[in-house]
Amino acid sequence: MNNLILRVVSKILIPLIIVFALYVQFHGDFGPGGGFQAGVIMSAAIILYALVFGLDAAEQVIPSTLLRVLASMGVLIYGGVGLVSLLFGGNYLNYTVLASNQIAGQHLGILLVELGVGITVFSVMLIIFFAFAGRGRI
Instruction: Give the count of residues interacting with another protein (CB under 8 A).
Output: 91
> Which among 67, 90, 93 has a CA at the least distance from the CA of 80?
93
Q: Binding pattern to another protein, positions 16-55, x when CB under 8 A? A: xxxxx-xxxxxxxxxxxxx-xx-xxx-xxx-xxxxxxxxx
> Which among 30, 28, 57 has a CA at the least distance from the CA of 40?
28
Q: Report the distance separating Cα 39 and Cα 31, nearest Å.
A: 16
What is the smallest separation between the CB atom of 30 and another protein, expressed in angstroms? Answer: 6
Q: Which of 65, 66, 74, 87 binds another protein (CB under 8 A)?
A: 74
Q: Report the distance separating Cα 75 and Cα 63, nearest Å.
A: 19
Q: Which of 86, 93, 97, 99 binds another protein (CB under 8 A)?
A: 93
Q: Using the rule CB under 8 A, is 88 a contact of another protein?
A: no
Q: Using the rule CB under 8 A, is 89 a contact of another protein?
A: no
Q: Report the distance separating Cα 129 and Cα 43, nearest Å.
A: 9
Q: Using the rule CB under 8 A, is 83 a contact of another protein?
A: no
